[in-house]
Amino acid sequence: MSLSLQEVKRVAWLARIEITDAEAEAAQGHLNGIFKLIEQMQSVDTEGVAPMAHAQDVAQRLREDRVTETDQHALYQSIAPQVEGGLYLVPKVIE
Amino acid sequence: MLNATVKQLSLQLAQKKVSSAELTQFHLDRIARLNPELNAFVTVDAARSLAQARAADAQIAAGKAQPLTGIPVAHKDIFCATGWLTTCGSKMLANFVSPYDAHVVERLNAAGAVTLGRTNMDEFAMGSSTETCFWGPVRNPWDRARVPGGSSGGSAAAVAARMAPAAIGTDTGGSIRQPSALSGICGLKPTYGVVSRYGMIAFASSLDQGGPMAKSAEDLALMLNVMAGFDARDSTSLERPAEDYTRLLDASPMGDRAKPLSGLRIGVPKEYFGAGLGSDVGAAVEAALAQFERLGASRVEISLPNSALSVPAYYVIAPAEASSNLSRFDGVRYGYRAPEYTDLADMYAKSRAQGFGAEVKRRILIGTYVLSHGYYDAYYLKAQKIRRLIAQDFVDAYGRCDLIMGPTSPSVAFGLGSMSSDPVQMYLNDIYTVSANLAGLPAMSIPCGFGEGDMPVGLQLTGNYFAEARMLQAAHRYQLATDWHLRQPAGVE
């Protein structure tokens, strides 16, 4: 398989990364090289093999249902690009 | 002081032959002298480090010293540490001063270790050469025209150039072991879940694991004793009784001093010695295996038949997880925000385009693609099935051997810039290291000789789950009989 320039731009949009035409062309070459490597996976029959999502086969821990976090919004917001009145500011979404 | 191990420095501190303040100042002076050329450290804060050192000296004076009290340790710039700039090698986090401590940092602080500074790394730990950093590449102390390996290349170079007695790193596909090999030091990636990932900036969460980097196996054991431990804030942290990783160092199963490793079965996978392995690296590794046999170990030829598929599967799984993890960098809550944008979507797209470097973007694009509609089964699910086959290969192998040994990397350190234009070539450097991450096994690298250009060669030891102490014992016994780990690069005296 190989990715078209259009597909590279679509994936960049899905990833929310602005990409210029020149960058998309460079990325296309690199990505197609990488996918050629990845295609080697198709050489092995994995019929009936259970997918392994995780290194340790353990169940998710449960915890007691009580508040453990303290309010640190002032500390955490002190490093935000733009805040006002305890809120993160972003461009207007709804007119 | 220059060549002393953590173990020796700890003794000198306890005997008051040196203070932590002196030890810290000694290393800060070395950083000031050597770092402008090597670029191993990205942040140094002498006042802060010295304050920690004086507090450690007070602990020692009060008779409350632990093994790492007063020992300066360099931190890879991926571990969040309160008040320290924590950049992860990226413009995206170039202004990020962490408001909290990673679990590993908390534990090192509680043990009285001194934070010596923050080390350079490939951006978001994505690389095998420490060249993709926003802060410029790190140079290998053994040959400054070569890379130190990556992604924990700053930590590796810091220890190799004796700017730090020890360091901490992270390993997602070899990022502790490969730079350790290429820079002539020791590094260990623990069993997945042994060291908490809390506060370690995430790359691929099912593979990431923090670990120690130092001059000797004994030092790694001392460091791991502090770094390992259960942490409820990491949902994959394992609840296990505390383990003393030094406990087997001096043990000899048969009580035979000449053959302290009798009974140890070393599996040598034939797939790790085929085409692609440099003859210089192969020769050094063979010599090391012969030394282990002289120490009483026996050699068993084994096979890991799916080894060749580990790199393809890794470069699906790691980017897939990365594309999800790195979606948090959106210019809203912390990190870089583009100066100009038209609307919210444009703000995201511009902040991420300007904040991430080329390799990080490439991996986000791969990950986004393999997880996108219509491709999930062909790539991500397929890779997860191959991951199972690779893990099963190890289960089968450990029926016949106790440890697996082979090269850490196919070649010695390569030239700066020599692989930057071809990502596939760069990825193939990870051929011997990624399997341990996919399977979740502990693995380490120790120096075992020199190859082309008098550059260090690393021997990789891979253990079964939770076999860290056994690996460290074997490595320690090898290091008592050899001195490769004590060699230091010229020009750093």
B348–A contact, CB cutoff 8 A = yes
To the nearest whole Å, the CA of B45 is away from the closest chain A CA by 20
Give exposure, B314-351, as e/b (b: 16+ Cβ within 10 Å).
bbbbbbbbbbbbbeebbbbebbbbbeebeeeeebbbbb
pLDDT tens digits, one per residue of B146-196: 999 999 999 999 999 999 999 999 999 999 999 999 999 999 999 999 999
- Report the DSSP beta bridge partners of residue B467: none
- As to burial, measured by CB atoms within 10 angstroms (0-12 exposed, 13-18 middle, 19+ buried), residue B395 is exposed
pLDDT one-digit tens code per residue, B298-331: 999 999 999 999 999 999 999 999 999 999 999 9
- The CA-based dihedral angle spanning residues B278, B279, B281, B283, taken in that order and rounded to the nearest 10 degrees: 160
Confidence tier at B251 by pLDDT (50, 70, 90): confident
**Shortest Cα–Cα distance, A45 to chain B (Å):** 9
Whether residues B345 and A16 touch (CB distance < 8 A) is answered with yes
- Mean residue pLDDT across chain A: 93
Q: How high is the pLDDT of residue A61?
A: 85
Nearest CA in chain A to B342: A91
The Cα A34–Cα A37 span in angstroms is 5
Is the Cβ–Cβ distance between B49 and B73 less than 8 Å? Answer: no
**Which is nearest to B363 in space by CA: A4, A12, A90?**
A12
Choosing among 2.40.160, 2.20.28, 1.10.20, 2.60.40, the CATH entry for A5-43 is 1.10.20
- A 62-91 → B contacts, CB under 8 A: 63, 72, 75-76, 78-82, 88, 90-91
* Chain B stretch 389-428, residues whose beta carbon is closer than 8 A to a beta carbon of chain A: 389, 391, 422-424, 427
State the nearest Cα–Cα gap between B196 and chain A, in angstroms: 14
Q: What is the pLDDT of residue B420?
A: 86
pLDDT value for B223: 98
Q: What percent of chain B has pLDDT over 90?
A: 96
B487 pLDDT more than 70 = yes
Q: What average pLDDT does range B451-458 have in this prediction? A: 98
Q: How many Å apart are CA B490 and CA B406, to the nearest integer?
A: 27
Q: Which pLDDT band holds residue A63 (cuts at 50, 70, 90)?
A: confident
A10 pLDDT more than 80: yes
Reading the block at residue B341, the tokens are 């944008």
Question: What pLDDT does A55 receive?
Answer: 86
Tell the residue number behind the tokens 């923050």, with chain if given: B118
Q: Once rounded to an integer, what is the mean pLDDT over residues B456-481?
A: 98
Question: Which pLDDT band holds residue B104 (cuts at 50, 70, 90)?
Answer: very high
Query: What mean pLDDT is predicted for residues B20-47?
Result: 98
Q: Give B 471-490 residues with CB within 8 A of chain A.
A: none
Of the pLDDT bands very low, low, confident and very high (cuts 50, 70, 90), residue B253 is low
Mean pLDDT for the stretch of residues B388-399:
98
Closest-CA residue in chain A for B314? A38
How many other CB atoms are there within 10 angstroms of residue A93's CB atom? 8
Residues 7-36 of A with CB under 8 A from B: 7-8, 11-19, 27, 30-31, 33-36
Which residue in chain B has the smallest CA separation from A9?
A: B365
User: Among residues B49, B129, B151, B323, which one is catalytic?
Assistant: B151
Cα(B267)–Cα(B32) distance, rounded to whole angstroms?
Answer: 44
Confidence of residue A1 (pLDDT cuts 50, 70, 90): low
Say if residue B257's pLDDT is above 80: no
Catalytic residue among B7, B76, B189, B350: B76
The string of pLDDT tens digits covering residues B106-162 is: 999 999 999 999 999 999 999 999 999 999 999 999 999 999 999 999 999 999 999
Gap between the Cα atoms of B467 and B465, Å rounded: 6
Residue A55, chain B, CB below 8 Å: the answer is: yes
User: Residue B150 and residue B212: Cα distance in Å, rounded?
Assistant: 15
pLDDT band (50, 70, 90) for residue B254: low
Chain A neighbors of B383, CB-CB under 8 A: 41
What count of residues does chain A have?
Answer: 95
State the Cα–Cα distance between residues B226 and B114, nearest whole angstrom: 13
With CA atoms as reference, the chain B residue closest to A59 would be B236
Residue B408: which pLDDT band, with cuts at 50, 70 and 90? very high
Domain boundaries, chain A: 5-43
**pLDDT tops 90 at residue B262:** yes
pLDDT digits (tens, 9 = 90+) for A17-46: 999 999 999 999 999 999 999 999 999 999
Average pLDDT value for chain B? 96
Q: Residues near B477 by Cβ (< 8 Å), separated by ≥ 6?
A: B260, B261, B295
* Whether residue A59 has pLDDT greater than 90: no
Mean pLDDT of B36-50: 98
- B44-56: average pLDDT: 98
- Cβ-proximal residues to B163 (8 Å cutoff; 6+ apart), any chain: B27, B30, B31, B34, B35, B38, B40, B41, B74, B157
Residue B10: other Cβ atoms inside 10 A = 21
The structure tokens listed for B454 are 């008098």
What's the gap in Å between the CA of A50 and the closest CA on chain B? 6
Please indicate whether residue B76 is annotated as part of the active site. yes
Q: Which residues of chain B does A46 touch, with a Cβ-Cβ cutoff of 8 Å? A: 382, 385-386, 389
As a whole number of angstroms, the distance between CA B65 and CA B405 comes to: 36
**Nearest Cβ partner of B341 from A51, A63, A91?**
A91
**Distance of residue A51 Cα from the nearest chain B Cα, in angstroms:** 4
Going from the C-alpha of B101 to that of each of B98, B200, B245, B456, the distances in angstroms are 7, 9, 24, 34
Choose among B238, B356, B424: nearest Cβ to A56. Answer: B238
Q: Which of B255-264, B274-283, B458-467 has the lowest mean pLDDT?
A: B255-264
Average pLDDT over residues B87-101: 97
| Chain B residues with beta carbon closer than 8 angstroms to that of A53 | 206, 384
**pLDDT attached to residue B255:** 65
In terms of Cα–Cα distance, which of B485, B491, B489 is closest to B4?
B485
CB contact under 8 A, B312 and A27: no
Task: Pick from A13, A42, A52, A82 the residue to mutate for testing the B interface (most B CBs within 10 Å).
Answer: A52
Q: Which of A14, A88, A90 sits opposite B372 (nearest CB)?
A: A14
Nearest to B356 by CA among B94, B121, B37, B106: B94
pLDDT reading at A71 higher than 70: yes
Q: Are the C-beta atoms of residues B255 and B427 closer than 8 Å to each other?
A: no
